[in-house]
Structure 1
């Protein structure tokens, strides 16, 4: 039977926490790393029994309260994260379980662990740096996503300078760590949308630069994750202010049109979900309108031949496609005069010089285009 009352172990929850805290801070000086790992594992397991009970014992509220208070007073959570890479795999999972259980604990309408983390943001900031150490990234990511469920903690994480590193974490490293970092980034942006909408008002320029860097990645996985993530934001009414800012930029349109011409049909579909917003916007900026008009014929050729196999029975997709084609048809036609471009029958409209962003090859959907998926 697992119990925290085993020989040589502390007899109270407070003593158990203090002893565990002493053990985890010895890793830098201990000459017997394995023994220290074993001791730490035993103490963590005993804490788990206090919090969750076992087959013979139910959790006791008084013991849990005593244990939690000592955790806060000793900064155990911070010290466990500092030394997470020194712990064995099962112990790391126990640390994650400890965080999760304490975060769920409430006294009336209060969450003491949330109060502690708000007062001690160093714990959250340390968790945010988890991907810098690949072998603990999945554990810190799981803990962070538990924290993100709480709006006051998410607000601290959004304002942490390390937040911007998650765009790099989302494209560098192992597939598992890249995916995990992107999931954390997505949860942080989409869980508390009112919070994110306010945050975007102050950080829109920097966010656009970072999300566009992911969309421009050479990695198929990164491109697909990021363009789907962007479409989720742009299509949400709470982010309308940001959406209008994003679709006002000709550079953003160019990027999306390049992705629309990708050989992967899945990427084409995902980028179409962003492209349609540029088309539907009734207040297009002149540079955006110029690019669309310049590419009108190629866009029509592409869209009229774009029939993804998995969308043939998707009524909503077909209706959206028909709407986009109709709007593209309504664009002014551009003609070239002495090296300058100008719209037909519209002397007040200034044209755009430059390349077309959909080439002839990408405007077809024949089998010669290999899908990367």
Structure 2
């Protein structure tokens, strides 16, 4: 054992440091408790040195030449895969160091290339392994940081959306561990909103499967998950590139019933979140006859509810959405169940989704 520590006690070059870290990680699986403890301390020290070379400090920015040299050694030794797959065995601070190292390497550009993006692109199962980190609370938040950094890259986001592991987010966001569920939802939302063209293509290709699962989230017993899911629905429907998806969603009476039933929730915040997708059904200039009929049959109750329960002001500004919805509901009649004029189409953009003033 002493030979192992003496061998790497004073690494002199980036290559020495990377090889020392690799050796320690590989040996940790075979060491006893005391050996693991000692190896962990040495591993933390060497990783901190590598991080310093790549990240630098506020007073001492890293040398571009050194960053490239370290990065190339990391790629050649396949160190990122080794660290990520052994993340669970590392101590708290070392996990944070690994996440910080991956974050900075993801942004490293060599000429016109982003070599760390290429590294992950060639290893889709490594991306899936990172996402699966949400299954273990000990590494969930560290993995979340790295997944979101990868999601900044359009090619990697596309890979993650296409991988079967993406559907596991519907379970991760309902984790009984609050921090895990919250972090997973941030990542889930990021993948569905950051690159709008990718998200639109994904939602179009997986419309039924996605919205079936998303509806279940809106019925979650987890208050935070439920509220965030309703809010995300509003974001997705009012994204301009999702116009056809929005129109398909608004044509469904089942979807309208789901939203209207949320008005019965005991939480005023949930009710308020539900108002945002609901107003899209009301303002839609191309309502299906079935949707219009439901709104007409429930018009008086809806108008009473909205008048009493939806706030008149958002901050210091009048709630124009409330006034618009009341106006459109008042215009409905049995004779108006045919699609109305397209003049209301201007109300169906992202500006119609307001922030909830209630915390």
TM-score range, shorter chain: 0.7 to 0.9
Q: In the alignment, does 2:52 pair up with 1:88? A: no
2:25 aligned with 1:24? yes
Corresponding residue of 2:304: 301
Residue 176 in 1 paired to residue 196 in 2?
no
In structure 2, what is the Cα distance between the partners aligned to 1:285 and 1:27? 63
Classify the secondary structure of the residue corresponding to 1:9: coil
- The answer (yes or no) to whether the contact 1:265–1:308 under 8 Å persists in 2 is no
**1:337 alignment partner in structure 2:** none
Change (3 A) 1:191 1:8: same
Measure how far apart 1:35 and its partner are.
1.6
**Higher mean C-alpha displacement, 21-30 vs 164-173:** 21-30
1:324 and 2:325 correspond: yes
Structure 1 or 2, whichever has the larger Rg, is 1
Q: Secondary structure at the match of 2:30?
A: coil
Whole-angstrom distance in 2 between the partners of 1:36 and 1:8: 11
| 1:275-294 aligned within 5 A | 275-294=278-297
Q: In 1, distance between residues paired with 2:199 and 2:77? A: 33
* Aligned partner of 1:60 among 57, 60, 63: 63
Moved over 6 A (4+): none
Answering whether residue 84 of structure 2 is matched by residue 48 of structure 1, we say no
Given the superposition, is the C-alpha separation of residues 125 and 248 from structure 1 closer, same or farther in structure 2, using an over 3 Å criterion? same
Q: In the alignment, which residue of structure 2 is the partner of 1:362? A: none
Q: Determine if the alignment matches structure 1 residue 132 to structure 2 residue 163.
A: no
1:78–1:122 contact (8 Å) kept in structure 2: no
Unmatched runs of 5 consecutive residues or more in structure 2 = 1-6, 339-357
CA contact (8 A) 2:312 2:322 kept: no
Which digits, 9 at most, give the CA deviation of each residue in 1:118-164, with x for residues without a partner? Answer: 12222211111110111100000011111111111111111111111
Q: Is the 8 A contact 1:234 1:240 kept in 2?
A: yes
The separation in 2 between residues aligned to 1:64 and 1:242, in whole angstroms, is 45
Give runs of aligned pairs for residues 113-152 of structure 1, distance below 5 A. 113-152=116-155
Q: Where does residue 206 of structure 1 map in the other structure? A: 209
The 3 A distance-change label for structure 1 pair 276 and 110 is same
| CA distance in 1 between partners of 2:204 and 2:190 (Å) | 19
Shift of residue 259, structure 1, vs aligned partner: 1.0
Query: How many Å separate the matches in 2 of 1:162 and 1:307?
Result: 39
- CA deviation after TM superposition for structure 1 residue 28, in Å: 2.5
Task: Tell me the distance in 1 between the aligned counterparts of 2:79 and 2:28.
Answer: 14
Deviating more after overlay: 260-269 vs 193-202: 260-269
| Aligned equivalents of 1:154, 1:243: Cα separation in 2 | 22
Tell me which moved more, 160-169 or 179-188.
160-169
Deviation at 1:279, TM superposition (A): 0.8
How far is 1:57 from its partner? 6.0
Give the alignment of 1:182-221 within 5 angstroms. 182-221=185-224
CA root-mean-square deviation:
2.3
Question: Do residues 155 (structure 1) and 161 (structure 2) align?
Answer: no
**Which ranges of structure 1 fall in alignment gaps of 5 or more residues?**
1-5, 334-344, 350-371
Q: Secondary structure at the residue paired with 1:205?
A: helix
CA distance in 2, matches of 1:80, 1:171: 27
| Aligned residue number for residue 80 of structure 2 | 77
Cα separation, 2, equivalents of 1:28 and 1:173: 30
Please report the TM-score for the alignment, with normalisation by the length of structure 1. Answer: 0.83
- Which is further off, 150-159 or 301-310? 301-310
Please report how far the alpha carbon of residue 49 of structure 1 lies from its aligned counterpart in structure 2 after TM superposition.
Answer: 2.0
In structure 2, distance between residues paired with 1:10 and 1:242: 57
CA displacement, residues 143-193 of structure 1 (integer Å, 9 cap, x when unaligned): 111111111111111111111111111112211111100000011111111
> How far apart, in 2, do the equivalents of 1:56 and 1:237 lie?
44
**Match in the other structure for 1:257:** 260
- The structure carrying a bigger helix percent of its residues is 2
